[in-house]
Amino acid sequence: MSEHTVSPPDIVRCAYMEIVVTDLKKSREFYVDVLDLVVTYEDDEAVYLRSFEEFIHHNLILRKGPEAAVACFSYRVRSPEDLDKAVAFYEARGCEVRRNKDGFVRGIGDSVRVMDPLGFPYEFFYEVEHVERLCWRYELYTPGALVRLDHFNQVTPDVPAGVKYMEELGFRVTEDIQDEKGTVYAAWVRRKPTVHDTAMTGGDGPRMHHVAFATHEKHNIIAICDKMGALRMSDRIERGPGRHGVSNAYYLYLRDPDGHRVEIYTQDYWTGDPDNPRVTWDVHDNQRRDWWGTPVVPSWYTDASRVLDLDGNLVPLTERTDDSEMAQTIGADGFSYTRQDEDDMPEWKKGEYKLGHQL
Amino acid sequence: MSEHTVSPPDIVRCAYMEIVVTDLKKSREFYVDVLDLVVTYEDDEAVYLRSFEEFIHHNLILRKGPEAAVACFSYRVRSPEDLDKAVAFYEARGCEVRRNKDGFVRGIGDSVRVMDPLGFPYEFFYEVEHVERLCWRYELYTPGALVRLDHFNQVTPDVPAGVKYMEELGFRVTEDIQDEKGTVYAAWVRRKPTVHDTAMTGGDGPRMHHVAFATHEKHNIIAICDKMGALRMSDRIERGPGRHGVSNAYYLYLRDPDGHRVEIYTQDYWTGDPDNPRVTWDVHDNQRRDWWGTPVVPSWYTDASRVLDLDGNLVPLTERTDDSEMAQTIGADGFSYTRQDEDDMPEWKKGEYKLGHQL
Amino acid sequence: MSEHTVSPPDIVRCAYMEIVVTDLKKSREFYVDVLDLVVTYEDDEAVYLRSFEEFIHHNLILRKGPEAAVACFSYRVRSPEDLDKAVAFYEARGCEVRRNKDGFVRGIGDSVRVMDPLGFPYEFFYEVEHVERLCWRYELYTPGALVRLDHFNQVTPDVPAGVKYMEELGFRVTEDIQDEKGTVYAAWVRRKPTVHDTAMTGGDGPRMHHVAFATHEKHNIIAICDKMGALRMSDRIERGPGRHGVSNAYYLYLRDPDGHRVEIYTQDYWTGDPDNPRVTWDVHDNQRRDWWGTPVVPSWYTDASRVLDLDGNLVPLTERTDDSEMAQTIGADGFSYTRQDEDDMPEWKKGEYKLGHQL
Amino acid sequence: MSEHTVSPPDIVRCAYMEIVVTDLKKSREFYVDVLDLVVTYEDDEAVYLRSFEEFIHHNLILRKGPEAAVACFSYRVRSPEDLDKAVAFYEARGCEVRRNKDGFVRGIGDSVRVMDPLGFPYEFFYEVEHVERLCWRYELYTPGALVRLDHFNQVTPDVPAGVKYMEELGFRVTEDIQDEKGTVYAAWVRRKPTVHDTAMTGGDGPRMHHVAFATHEKHNIIAICDKMGALRMSDRIERGPGRHGVSNAYYLYLRDPDGHRVEIYTQDYWTGDPDNPRVTWDVHDNQRRDWWGTPVVPSWYTDASRVLDLDGNLVPLTERTDDSEMAQTIGADGFSYTRQDEDDMPEWKKGEYKLGHQL
């Protein structure tokens, strides 16, 4: 059966990520003691974590392993039958597909894992153990309480190819970054009616750029930074807090003990209408990545986590051949603007945008 | 064709309410100058308003008329074909159905209006004029900016009957209030993955209990109260701000110049999973309506807006015969608790819960 | 020496209150586990607590005793010599004065305790043990962290007499509530440049109306209510949260296990200029006590804590003979307004203001 | 009379700054239309502005002139007699002193202007016109409303000499930045009980580093950035928002159309006790200037506004000969740490701290 005639599974939302960490105790400290995620289950090999408003078993698994990497991006589907559709969808594309009636991890039942056309390990499941939704358990809340898993973000060399596949899988593009020649630098795609369940970010891939959790309000994100300062962990704050142009959300990027990037995110907008207008940003617009014009730090462009295949081996990287967003916007070869058709950025500000190539 | 074999239209979300106001200038002052809704269009007969993150033409119509009432509860459907389904769905139930290819109001195309089985004027549409989504227009934001239409709330005498019909229409119950005998006092139903697109509140009906707009953060709601105090309009603050038990949202109820009730609402939770757990509250639990135990003011239970039929006449009321929530929880005949199986509310607090029957 | 020729001590600020509680374990749970005050020292007889930004030993002492009461309102003075001035000031007024070079409580050195002309046990001290100021210890902050002691509030029968004495003691009036006949219902007086270090509230006295702690932001106060709901302690929320007219602060009133009233308070304004304008509110103005017009609950007017003399015996009460604020504003004999010279409060709102006398 | 025997005037607080701007219309747009300061008075030559909670005539004067500079740092004193003390204090130091019974600017009466020992134009006044305090005028508040003038910040070559003079003038040091050799890089000094009324920042001087206004909450500062993004003025956001180490306040630095730096600031702590503990920060501590470890941008170290003498001429600069804070902490010659005695800043983070010398 041709890939074009196979309907995709009906995906409800991004549900959890499984990451491999090299020091489980250190990672637990970061995600539990610093970020206050809730432990659903833990043993010597893994810690299963969830956010405060979650009722499914987990949103993040930390699994001990020899090398930091991502083992799985997992999505919840609408019905058990959608697993059959997932199998058919990926088999029609010649992908490696495995199914486990008892689940690949705790708390999850019948599941399908695949190596997708972009080289990412994707999972789909419906059956899941319910746990207490802690919405009303305010005696447990902390100043930076994470309330939902919001999205993933993936690095892939050919963004238009990635978007095409995600659209076939039933996702819709909400926003993207392009240049005047039509090069696409990144695209945000969604199933649930927020700006994204995942994004395709241009770069050598497959790699995982970040996993994002939501808070209720902006001060919750500030509280996380304040706490990291108090714990003398401010060097794990990579970028932000700031306001995104894309998504309009208030954000923060952290790096965990293995360098895995975690975003904390709040207040994007409703995208659930069938004709939701796509927003396209110019790669040269200084406010696309940060609405306040704060330059993106180079590591945010260059660093990302490797991913594993279904046997637990690192998936080899493919280089991006399209232009790099970092090169387009910072450093000697790039240019960017705050006001299109003007060249009047103040002298004292120019320095910040010219540093990237010197690193 | 039996009503049971007709599929409902695929409803995306509650989209707008059309209300009749007796003094258009006064109502405009309330919704535009006080609440800072954005005017999409206005003339001598009507004002079309939207929230900051909206891209469809309007979320609220104020229409001048001789008597305050609600002319329409309008929902957006996923495709043009869903209008045919809406026609079939309501015709199978013997309801009055009208269709207008050019729309019943500005900004909306092909639409279906019906008098639903509960006596409410419901509308369904897909075609709509797009307008600027003001997400990024922060120069226009005010301290209490309303960013989305969140939900309607309807008063109907027989809540279980109302819920059954809404479930046939494709809605799911997220929360409800019951007593030990199984009497249902209210139920919250949703299409979009929030706690509700509308709610069925027990009482003489059909009436409109309130229309609710969302803000980003709790301080935005406080800012609205502060502003109403400054404008010496505090007597239009009916209830709150407070934290709901049901929905877990932070809320405020206002009354417009005609007495129409408007809720301002923020931060409920994701309900979009197919097996989202329903939360049932005990009608005797003092924290069900307000998590902080603040008694509901009697007018909130007793007052609501009449609705119009498709010819613009008031729909007659049917009395509720089930027990009243107000009688169950305040006044001489009711009882309620903060801690189940305890009777140790402090003396100084008891008075507040015994006032309702004296009015 | 006449009382008029004796200069008062130079008082810096209200510093701590010592309260007697009947169940130390229960009170500790309330102030430490619920309100998250920080324990500086504790033993079987007493718990010494401070707020997050405090560097002196304590802001509140819970002392075990047979009857709930207030043992001391304590102020810090600018220098050791101010204690001599305090002694002279009160001796000139014929008050009972005791001095203890080693302090009456832990953490405090040389101190003067007096029974003041209004019957309140007042303390003055300069010497105090410094402890860690937890400003930067964000890993310890909780969602409702209390950062400063803000003020006391005292009930006294004759407010003008109380104000006269406090002015002689060096305080300045910032705001008050009066009626058209000149009756004074309450007055706010300050040393530090906020709206008050203490207030004189008209009623049978001497009694302690409340002790108030400050938070940084409004959401911190909401978080306290949310937590109390989660702990099923909402019946200890007496009034609020709301916005005060007087002081312009956002507030909440709680009752501790003995009924002692605690206010949580944030964001009043600078009053430190020598000619700071006094604000006088009309007792009939519905927005004076709550800017949003929410009626004050009767217990807030009627209940207060008894105070102890220097030997630990209850100080007898003197009745207020001036008009009562509650009678002026709620119930059959009172009237009040939202807009002066108008009588157009909506029908549905009137009920709320007519309930007080029926209790 | 020796300078050591002359008592200083009793200064209440920093009250206003007078700045010279080259394009009054552009500056008015910035301070009034973008920052929402309130106009008390304006004509073709000057705009007098105040913050929402101010009751004296103004907190900032924009005066049209040929060259951007600062004309005056003005403080309010406690009584008219303090002006005589100010005259004596500065005359004893051989400073130029002028007194104008009618005030040097509108709204202010009898005033003293001096060229102080550090070369700054300082003013002292008591008489001032009262204007409406807009505390309760919430209908005028905007999302980023500035409520108080908080402090000045001055650049001077010899910080210890500057501190000594300010202490003689009655100020107290609350915090400072030093290195292991005792070099002082900056010091914060206060009269009112906040962290500062002004600060001495090491550099070529006399220059004005910034003038700071306070907001109530952190989201107010974020709202200012969001608005500047919407107005495509993000290139005037120089640094932040972030959390200061020094002062513990949440901050933002902007640059006005002439490059004058404005800070927006919220939530430092009480410093009014006579023995308030001084906090000394290590210049090598990455969290001293920003608690989250975000590197200070070079322009923040290098740029500042020139000041005028009493005849309106630029005061010549004196070079700093002590070490520069920028050189100590960024660039090839500096080092800095997140955790003292550790050298484990992540590789990806190091780049950010090594850029300064390359500019």
One-letter-per-residue 3-state SS of C142-161: CCCCCCEEEEEEEEECCHHH
- Determine the Cα angle at D127 with ends D16 and D39, to 5°: 45
Mean pLDDT of B328-337: 70
Instruction: Characterize the bridge pairing of strands B237-243 and A250-255.
Output: unpaired
Distance from CA of A352 to the nearest CA of C (A): 29
pLDDT, tens only, C280-311? 999 999 999 999 999 999 999 999 999 999 99
* Dihedral Cα B232, B233, B234, B240, nearest 10 deg: -150
Asked if residues A224 and A238 have their Cβ atoms less than 8 Å apart, the reply is no
Interface membership of D137 toward B (CB under 8 Å) = yes
Q: Do B217 and D219 touch (CB under 8 A)?
A: yes
The answer to which of C1-15, C32-46, D228-242 has the lowest mean pLDDT is C1-15
Mean of all residue pLDDT scores within chain C: 94
Q: What percent of chain D has pLDDT over 70?
A: 94
pLDDT, tens only, C314-338? 999 999 999 999 988 865 556 789 9
Q: What is the pLDDT of residue C356?
A: 41
Interface membership of D132 toward B (CB under 8 Å) = no
Given the candidates 3.10.180.10, 3.40.50.12160, 1.10.8.50, 3.40.50.300, the CATH classification of the domain at C8-129+142-306 is 3.10.180.10
DSSP class of residue D84 equals H
pLDDT, tens only, B103-135? 999 999 999 999 999 999 999 999 999 999 999
Q: Do C223 and A138 touch (CB under 8 A)?
A: yes
B247: left (phi over 0), alpha (psi -120 to 50) or beta: left
Residues of C in contact with A137 (CB under 8 A): 230
Give the pLDDT band of residue C359 (cuts 50, 70, 90): very low
Q: Residue C16: beta bridge partners?
A: C74
Superfamily of domain B3-133+142-306: 2,3-Dihydroxybiphenyl 1,2-Dioxygenase, domain 1 (3.10.180.10)
Mean pLDDT of B326-340: 76
Mutate to test the interface with D, among B53, B132, B138, B228 (most CBs of D within 10 A): B138
Q: Do D12 and C248 touch (CB under 8 A)?
A: no
Mean of all residue pLDDT scores within chain B: 94
Q: Do A78 and B274 touch (CB under 8 A)?
A: yes
Q: Residue D190: beta bridge partners?
A: D172
> Would you say residue A333 has pLDDT above 60?
no
Give the pLDDT band of residue D340 (cuts 50, 70, 90): confident
Residues of D in contact with C14 (CB under 8 A): none
Backbone angles phi, psi at D272, to 5 degrees: -80, -5
Interface membership of D143 toward B (CB under 8 Å) = yes
Give the pLDDT band of residue B52 (cuts 50, 70, 90): very high
Mean pLDDT of B234-238: 97
pLDDT, tens only, D18-36? 999 999 999 999 999 999 9
Q: What is the pLDDT of residue A344?
A: 65
Give the pLDDT band of residue C358 (cuts 50, 70, 90): very low
Superfamily of domain A7-132+144-306: 2,3-Dihydroxybiphenyl 1,2-Dioxygenase, domain 1 (3.10.180.10)
Interface membership of B281 toward C (CB under 8 Å) = no
Q: How far apart are CA B329 and CA B331, in angstroms?
A: 7
DSSP string, A308-336: B-TTSPBPPPB---SPPHHHHHSSTT---
CB atoms within 10 A of CB B180: 8
Nearest to D230 among B139, B219, B229 (CB): B139
> Considering only CA atoms, which of C207, C303, C210 is closest in space to residue C262?
C210
> Would you say residue D221 has pLDDT above 50?
yes
Asked if residues C146 and C264 have their Cβ atoms less than 8 Å apart, the reply is yes
DSSP string, D19-80: EEES-HHHHHIIIIIIS-PEEEEE-SSEEEEE-TT--BS-SEEEEE-SS-EEEEEEEEESST
> Would you say residue C275 has pLDDT above 70?
yes
pLDDT, tens only, D247-297? 999 999 999 999 999 999 999 999 999 999 999 999 999 999 999 999 999
Q: What is the pLDDT of residue C1?
A: 54
> Would you say residue B356 has pLDDT above 50?
no
According to the CATH classification, is domain D8-134+146-306 in 3.10.290.10?
no
Give the pLDDT band of residue C16 (cuts 50, 70, 90): very high
Interface membership of C223 toward B (CB under 8 Å) = no
Give the pLDDT band of residue C140 (cuts 50, 70, 90): very high
Nearest to A76 among B245, B248, B273 (CB): B273
Task: From residue D290, give the alpha-carbon distance in Å to each of A237, B2, C222, D249, D267.
Answer: 12, 69, 28, 10, 15
Residues of B in contact with A292 (CB under 8 A): none
Q: How far apart are CA B74 and CA B127, in angstroms?
A: 13
Inter-helix orientation angle D218-230/A218-230, to 10°: 120
Residues of D in contact with B217 (CB under 8 A): 219
Distance from CA of B288 to the nearest CA of A (A): 11
Interface membership of D53 toward B (CB under 8 Å) = no
| CB neighbour list of residue B341: distance below 8 Å, 6 or more residues apart | none
Q: What is the amino acid identity at position D70? A: V
> Would you say residue A343 has pLDDT above 90?
no
The alpha carbon of residue D244 and the mean position of all alpha carbons in its chain are separated, in whole angstroms, by: 15
> Would you say residue A331 has pLDDT above 60?
no
Mean pLDDT of C191-220: 98
Q: How far apart are CA A204 and CA A182, in angstroms?
A: 19
Instruction: Characterize the bridge pairing of strands B11-21 and B60-64.
Output: parallel
pLDDT, tens only, A246-295? 999 999 999 999 999 999 999 999 999 999 999 999 999 999 999 999 99
pLDDT, tens only, A49-105? 999 999 999 999 999 999 999 999 999 999 999 999 999 999 999 999 999 999 999
Give the pLDDT band of residue B349 (cuts 50, 70, 90): confident
Q: What is the pLDDT of residue C331?
A: 56
Q: What is the pLDDT of residue B221?
A: 98
Mean of all residue pLDDT scores within chain D: 94
Q: Quote the tokens at residue C120.
A: 């309140």
> Would you say residue B204 has pLDDT above 70?
yes
Find tokens 């304008």 and name the residue.
Answer: C277
Mean of all residue pLDDT scores within chain A: 94
> Would you say residue B331 has pLDDT above 60?
no
Distance from CA of A290 to the nearest CA of D (A): 9
Mean pLDDT of D94-104: 98
Residue D258, CA atoms < 13 Å, CB-side half-sphere: 26
Domain ranges of chain C: 8-129+142-306
Q: How far apart are CA C35 and CA C30, in angstroms?
A: 6
Q: How far apart are CA A278 and CA A260, in angstroms?
A: 29
Residues of B in contact with A195 (CB under 8 A): none
Q: Which residue of B has its CA nearest to A129?
A: B275
pLDDT, tens only, A8-38? 999 999 999 999 999 999 999 999 999 999 9
> Would you say residue B174 has pLDDT above 90?
yes
DSSP string, C221-256: HHHHHHHHHHTT-GGGEEEEEEE-STT--EEEEEE-
pLDDT, tens only, D102-150? 999 999 999 999 999 999 999 999 999 999 999 999 999 999 999 999 9
DSSP class of residue A352 equals G
Counting as contact any 3 or more CB pairs under 8 A, the partners of A are B, C, D
Give the pLDDT band of residue D347 (cuts 50, 70, 90): confident
> Would you say residue B359 has pLDDT above 60?
no
Give the pLDDT band of residue A117 (cuts 50, 70, 90): very high
Q: What is the pLDDT of residue B357?
A: 36
User: Using CA of residue D190, residue D196, residue D198, residue D203, what is the dihedral sign?
Assistant: positive
CB atoms within 10 A of CB D275: 13
Q: Quote the tokens at residue D349.
A: 């983070």
Q: Quote the tokens at residue C177.
A: 């509530």
Among C residues 293-332, those touching chain D with beta carbons less than 8 Å apart: none
